[in-house]
Structure 1
Amino acid sequence: MNIYSVRLVNGTSLCSGRLEVRSTQSNQSTQSTQSNQSTQWGSSVCEEDFDQQDAEVVCRELGCGAPSVLQGALYGEVEAPMWTKEFQCGGHESALLDCRSSGSERNTCSPGKAVGLTCSEPVRLVGGASRCAGTLEVKHQGDWRPVAGSVWTLKAAAVVCRDLDCGSAVSTERRYESSRRKVWWIDSDCVQSASPLRECVTSPSASSSSLDLTCSDLLLQPNISMDGVSEAQQQGAEVFV
């Protein structure tokens, strides 16, 4: 089980929420002096002491994709201890507490300025006509691998399309190759239960099959112009028929 120095709370998954840092005794407020598990969490970070490189490190530490939103109070404001020093990450560190921090300390933070962060889910479709179609790959334990598993329904595939901001699911297809390769095994029933996809990975294995998905944003969207000429758009390109 991974032990994180950070977490995102009040979001929709482990990859989004208000940033909290697991504090040591010296970093906690004087009102929070116990060393049990519950009081180690709770130090929020002021937006002024946090930048894009810091966000990249947090997302990496949590096993999520790249940061997509960084905004103060996006996931609620709390009366909680503040982390008192500015993080100075280079962006390559594996954990936030591995980063250097400033020597000066901050005693206050303006209301609405606690860091809220959204990281992308570590999911992608590769080898298709666009980012919204192709072989499903998931990043787990630091490795991108294709997905294999039980038969996937459109309901399960819809979770992936939603995470990728690709509309709804159109089709799923199991693809076979001549050789076996390392894959992540994922049960579609877990995905349908609204659990984050990467939390549904049960075990690594070797398989000759993988899963191809197509989401609706790939499809041609017909539009009728004023002069009666039909147009279709696909991923920003225009096709006249």
Structure 2
Amino acid sequence: MAIRHTVVSESAALESPTLVAPKNIGDAAYKNVQSIRPTFEWKHHKGDATEYKLEIDKEDTFNTVAHQTFNKSANTGSPDKTDATLYYFNYAIHEFDPGLDRDTYYWKVTALSTNEAATSEVWSFTISPELSLSGITNYPNPFNPNRERTKIRYRLSTDASEIKIRIYDVTGSLVTELDGTTAGEASSIWGKYNDVEWDGRNGRGDIVMNGIYPFEVMARLGDRSVSGRGKIAVLK
């Protein structure tokens, strides 16, 4: 059931912000959030508001160890196309900040002025990404297999049941197949990627010749499969 709490300002001069996204659990348009670093959006007839305080927590009491607070200046909003007094605001958790867990969260926004505060309803959402694959690269590139290995790097939105990495030559013939690691992106900034090393050898154990070697990363979870491609340059 959707949970909505409203804190009403004692003064009518500063109205409460209206939440926009992520949608509230129970709303007809609700969908699970796909990113552990979501973007929060609200709208407000800001009046004398100078700042907004966004709060996120795993409980609607907003007093657990998971409680986070972010501030947003009231000067950063975008005006509505039909109502010049209505502004839209958003806050995105930064790429280099810790993400959220795959769990249910509650959030609210408080408008602040010099003398007043007005708080929105409390909405909830669940982070449950479908399997996706991104950030495919390798380094060093080019690499010399006589001296080093190259790391094939990729990012998973959630844990996969299987990862296969297939490396080909320019004719499309399979050079070798590697088993990849299956960990989904962690909330820590140090746990974003999976790295799998290739020593530059084919399936027979021989070091390959100089050239370009296309590779494909394939991820599977249940009946869902995703894939992505890159190119490795070997230069000895």
| TM-score interval for Structure 1 and Structure 2 normalised by the shorter chain | under 0.3
Q: Which has the higher contact order (CA 8 A, sep 6+)?
A: 2
Q: TM-score, normalising length from structure 2? A: 0.25
Higher fraction of helix:
1
TM-score by length of 1: 0.25
> Which has the greater radius of gyration?
2
